[in-house]
Each structure stands twice: as structure tokens, then as C-alpha cells.
Structure 1
Amino acid sequence: MTAVRQDAWSPDDDIILAEVTLRHIREGSTQLAAFEEVGERIGRTSAACGFRWNSCVRKRYEDAIQIAKQHRQKRNYLKKQSSSVTAAPHVSSLSIVDEDSKSFKQDVISEESITIDGIIRFLRQWRGAYQELQRQVKLLEKDLLDRDEELSELRAENHRLNSEVTNAQTDYRTVNDDYKTLIQIMDRARRLAVLNEEDELKPRFKMDANGNLERIE
């Protein structure tokens, strides 16, 4: 049983989905068979592939779809033409019986010409489908380059912001250390001022001639 993946569709997944689906259309197969094949190749369910095709990918390949349908019609036409060529010996025998071999040869040549024209048109249409796929690939490659450039710019911006954060953290530590030092200096000054005030307010005494202590103002 194919596992269901929850990650986003990549450009390569979309290309695989488009190529397989267009091939099934050209060969006269069903889109359901195409979705099942794609699901097995990229590890998704056929329902997920069908939803992706109808909701997103199909819109980008409208021209290629029409070409694929024309290829399918041409394929059926060529099969019918091959059947007609296979039946030609019966016509030949009838022509010989009717002694009209010249007319028969002209009919055979006409059938061969039509078949060759059909093959030429088929190849031209195939070339058109191939060119369309090439165009889609170039667009995807351009989009990938744009995303790479955007990623490089984001990485450079991230590096710059990290540098600014590092510098800000360094400045903060420096300012914080200076602030602590200033607080310590102010605390020392406050304690010294308190000690000086206590020394000034402390009463002083001296002994008089009678041996008594006398306070000095």
C-alpha cells in the first residue's frame, strides 16, 4: 500500500505527474491509471495525484493536453490506416480478376501517401508537445534560480542580524558592568559620608582642673 506523504509537492513531482498523465492521454489510457502510476513512482496516493492534477498542474498544460488528445486521435487513425493496408491484398486479387491492375496500384500508392502524411503530422505534433515541456522546464529552472538568489539574500541578512545581536549583547554586558561599578562607587561614597557625619556628631570630653569630665562643643 502506498504511503501518504504530507510534504509539499516539488517541481519535479509536478513534472512527473504532467509527463505520465500526458503519456496516458496520448496512448488512449485513463487518467486514473496515470495517477496510480505517478503515485507508485513518487510515493503518494492516486487520489492525491488526481487532486494535484485537477487543482494546479492541469491549468499549466492546457495546450499540451489538446496536443495529446490530437495524438490519441491520430494514433487511432493510423491504426485504421494500417488495417486498410493489411486488407490491400484482397483488393489486389479483386483487381486482378477485374483485370484493372493499374487502378489498383494507384489506390495502394494513395493509401501509403495518406499514412506517411499522418506520421509526419504525428511527429510534428509530438515535437510541439516536447517543446512545450522544454518551455515548462526552463520556467521551473528560472524559478529555482530566483529562489536560490532569494535564499542567498536571506542568509546574508540573517548573518548581518546575528552580528548586530552579538554586538548588542557585548555592549549590554559592558554597560551592565559599568553600571555595577558605578553603584559600588556610590555605595562606598554613601558609607563614607555616613561615617563622617557620625564622627562629627560624636560628643567630645576633656578633664578640667578638678578631675571632672567636661563636654567640648
Structure 2
Amino acid sequence: MTKVRQDAWSHEDDVLLADTVLKHIKEGSTQLKAFEEVGDILNRTAAACGFRWNAVVRDRYEGHVSDAKRERKTFQRQNAANAVKRTLGKSTDQPSPAADNGNKSEESTEDLHLEQVISYLETLRNRTEDSDRNHKRMASLEEENQQLQTTVQQWQKKHEELENEYQSLLSVINRARKMMFMDETNPESFMSSNFRMDQEGNLENISKDSM
């Protein structure tokens, strides 16, 4: 629905506009959102509310605006400090500093919050550096593990080759033994007439026994 109000602003309307704008300033919101909120209540456009604020109402509440901005800074600092405390595992039960404690108290609180933020950033940096070192160490271990796996595979292959050579040699020896003694009844065979194999598989010269 189009907002087309043309009537004059009442004192109550100005107070509502001022209170809403101050509330949004304290909470770190924007004046535009305040104008939109008031416009919805008074059936006026946000532009009309903004014009009324800047042309008439703001001058009446200049001191309140400055106070609201200070409270906004305190509110934002406290939120940042609470975030740091939650991250560092510290308690967040400490009360917020009052806005009227004086410049000295506000500066002390600001210094404390700044130290907490610096401490948090240093902790975050150290964690990042530790994470980088861990990643590098992990990459190095993975590379070393890969090299060891390659070496093991090479030795396994070498072992298989030696095993195959051993089996081939053993097969040749067995065939040679069979060829030597396969024809023991042949009188022309040198090995059959002069050697025989004992029970333990050793060659025995039998020609000596016949002398």
C-alpha cells in the first residue's frame, strides 16, 4: 500500500522518531532502519521520516545522539570482548562497564579489550602456525611412507626373482640327478657302474668297494 500522509507531525510523532533513532544508534543499527520502522508505525515513508529527523528533530536531540554513539562504542567493545573470551574459554560473567563511569574508566576498559583482542589474535596466529607445521609434517610422513612402500615392493620383487631362480636351479639339479641314476642296469653307464646314491642322497663311489 502506498503511503501518502500529508498531515503535520505531532509532538508524539517526533518523540517516537527520536526514541527509535537513538535506539538504533545504540544497538549499532542504521538510521535508515529506524526511519523505516517509524514509517511503518506512522504510515509515512522512510524518506519523510528521514527528512523530519534531519530538518527538525535532530537538533533537539544532539546531546542524546552523542550519548547514544558512546553507548554504541561501549556495546560494540563489550561484544568483541565477549567473543574473545568465548574463544579463549574465559568467563563472560563480568558486568559491562557503565556508560557514565568517566573517561578514565572508559579508556581503561578500552585498553583491556584491546589487550584481549591482541591476545586472541596472537593465539590464533600460533594455532595457524602449528596447523601449518602439522600439515608439513604430515606431508613429509606421507612422502616417507610412500618411499618405504616403494622400497618394500622392490625387495618383494627381488625376492620373487631369487625364489624363481632358486626353483629353476633346484629343478635342473633334480633332473641331473635323475639322469645320472635312471639307468643303473646299463653296464656301459659310467655313473651306474661306479657311483650310487646312499639313503641321504649323497653320491658314493662303489668302484672302490670292488677293488
TM-score in same-fold range (> 0.5):
no
Higher helix share: 1
Higher RCO structure, 1 or 2 (CA under 8 Å, sep 6+)? 1
- TM-score for both structures, normalised by structure 2: 0.44
- TM-score for both structures, normalised by structure 1: 0.43
Q: Specify the structure having the higher radius of gyration (Cα).
A: 2
